[in-house]
Amino acid sequence: MRSTPTLAGALVALLALGVVPARAGHRPNNEVLVGGAISLTGQYAEPAGRQVNSIRLWVDDVNARGGLLGHRIALRLLDDKSDIQTSIKLYEKLITEDKVDVLLAPYSSGITEAVANVTERYKMPIVAYGASASPIWEKGRRYIFNIVAVAETFQKGAVHLARQIGVTKLAVIGQDSLFPRQAGKGAKDWAQRLGIDVVLEENYPTKQTDFTALLQKIQASGAEAVISNSYFADAAAQLRQMRELGLNFKLYSSTVGPALPNFAEQLGATAEYVLGFSLWEPLPGVLGYPGMKEYIERYEKRYGEKPNYHAGGAYGALQVTEAALKHVGSFDSEKLRDALATIEVQTVFGRYKVDAKGMNSHEGLTFQILRGQRRVVWPEKWAETKAELPIPEWSRR
C-alpha cells in the first residue's frame, strides 16, 4: 500500500502520544483529504449540483463537530464535465497523485460504473449516491456500496398506478444509456407481472431533442400510457411536443426530470399531472427519518430551497461513510470497506444496510405534479393525496 516506513513510524509515534492512528496524520494542519469528481458542468450538472450542495454542507457540519476522527476535512471536488473518460482520469489522479483519504462518488450510473473499475483496482471504498443501475453491483466488486434504490424499482409505482386506472397497453421509452435502460427493464417486468402489455419499447440517443417521430410511433402502437426513462431535457421536450402535437395519454411518468425542483417551474402547466419518481422527499412528517428535519432546515437556510432526493442521498451516504469511519477508528481503506459492508446506519435518507453485493434495499416513492407541487401518491402508506389520473386531455386543460 501507500504507507511508507516513515509514515508508519510517524503513526507509531502518534499512537504513543494517544492520538487517533489515522493515515491522514501526514496532512498539513492535521487535515484529512476528502475528494471526488462529480458533474459540475454538462448534462448531469443539475442533479449532481444538488449533491455537491449536500457534500459542502456535510463537510461544514463535520468540521463544526470537530472533524472526521479529529481531523479537519479539506475538500477536493473536481469537475468530470458529465463525461465518463474525464471522470476515469480524475479518479486516477485523486487516488495516485492527490492521495485522498476518503473518496466521494460521482453522479450517474454510467460514470459510476466506469469509476468503479478504478476504485476497485486501488481498493478504495465508495458509497455511491448517484447510481441506480444494478449491473454495477453484479460484477463481484468489493469496494463499491450503494445507498439508493436500484433503477429497476423507479417505475414500479407508475406501473401500479397505470394498472389501477385500467391501462392495458404501455409504451416504455428511454434514453440510450445504462440507468434508463435498467429502469425500462424494471418497468417491463412490473408490467408483465401486473398483466399489462408493453406494446412499444424504444431508446433514443442521449442528445435527442426532437421526439415528434417517436411520439407518433407511440400513438401508432396504441399505447395508452407512457413510461419514460428520462432525465431533465428529454422529459421536458417530450411533454412540450406531446402538447404541440395534441397527443393525449392516460399517464406519463419520467424517472429523473420531474423530481428536480425547476421542472415544474420551467414547464408550468405542461408539467401538470406528470408522475415522477423520488428516492426521498423533504417530508419529515411522512418519512420520519432521524435528523431529517434538521438537515432540511440547514440545507434550506444555506441554499434557499429544500433539498431534493439527489441532495438527500448524498448526505445520507456521507453520514454512512462518517459512521463507518468512526466504527473503524482510522482511515484504513480495507477496514473501512469491511465496515461499510456490515454496519447498519440510520441516516436522514433512510436505513443503510447492504446485502452481499453491496446494494441497499432503499424504498422510493412516486409523486405527481399537482398545481405545481410534487405530491406523494404511491406507495399508499406514504401517499399525501390520491393520484389524479387519467391525465385530462390537452384540449380540456
Partner 1 sequence: MERSEVRSLYLLAVFLACAYTVPFLVGAWAGTVRFDERWLGNLATVVVAGVMQGGVYAMFALGLTLIFGVMRIINAAHGEMVMMGAYLTWVCFFYLGVDPLLSMVLTLPVAFLFGVAVQKLLLNAVVGQPELTALLITFGLGLTMIYTAELIFTTDFRAIPYAPGTVHLTRTIAVGQNKVISFVLAVVISTAVYLFLKLSRLGKAVRATALNAEVAMVCGVDVRRIYLITTGFGAALAAAGGALVSIQFGFNPETGVVYTLQAFAIIVLGGRGNYMGALIGGLMLAVLENLVSLMVPNGTAVVELAAYGLMIFVLLIRPGGLMGVKEG
What is the contact surface with partner 1 in residues (CB under 8 A)? 41-43, 45-46, 82, 176, 201-205, 207-210, 212-214, 216-217, 219-221, 232-233, 236-237, 240-241, 243-246, 262, 266, 268, 270, 394
Q: Enter the C-alpha cell of residue 229.
A: 426513462
Give the nearest distance from C-beta 194 to partner 1 in angstroms: 23
Q: Pick the closer one to partner 1 by CB: 39 or 368.
A: 39
Which H or E run includes 179? helix 178-193
Q: Pick the closer one to partner 1 by CB: 168 or 241.
A: 241
Give the nearest distance from C-beta 329 to partner 1 in angstroms: 41
Q: Is 5 exposed, middle or buried (0-12, 13-18, 19+ CB in 10 A)?
A: exposed
Q: Pick the closer one to partner 1 by CB: 194 or 237.
A: 237
Give the nearest distance from C-beta 204 to partner 1 in angstroms: 4
**Crossing angle of helices 292-303 and 45-64, rounded to 10°:** 110
Give the nearest distance from C-beta 76 to partner 1 in angstroms: 21
Q: Pick the closer one to partner 1 by CB: 169 or 243.
A: 243
Of 87, 157, 220, the closest CA to residue 381 belongs to 157
Give the nearest distance from C-beta 236 to partner 1 in angstroms: 6
Q: Pick the closer one to partner 1 by CB: 176 or 355.
A: 176
Distance in angstroms (rounded) separating the CA atoms of residues 71 and 101 = 11
Give the nearest distance from C-beta 318 to partner 1 in angstroms: 24
Buried b (16+ CB within 10 A) or exposed e, 270-289: bbbbbbbbbbbbbbbeebeb
SS3 42: coil
Evaluate whether 3 touches 99 at the Cβ level (below 8 Å). Answer: no
Q: Pick the closer one to partner 1 by CB: 289 or 303.
A: 303
Q: Are strands 275-278 and 365-370 parallel, antiparallel or unpaired?
A: antiparallel
Give the nearest distance from C-beta 211 to partner 1 in angstroms: 8
Q: Pick the closer one to partner 1 by CB: 236 or 387.
A: 236
Buried b (16+ CB within 10 A) or exposed e, 6-37: eeeeebeeeeeeeeebbbbbbbeeebbbbbbb
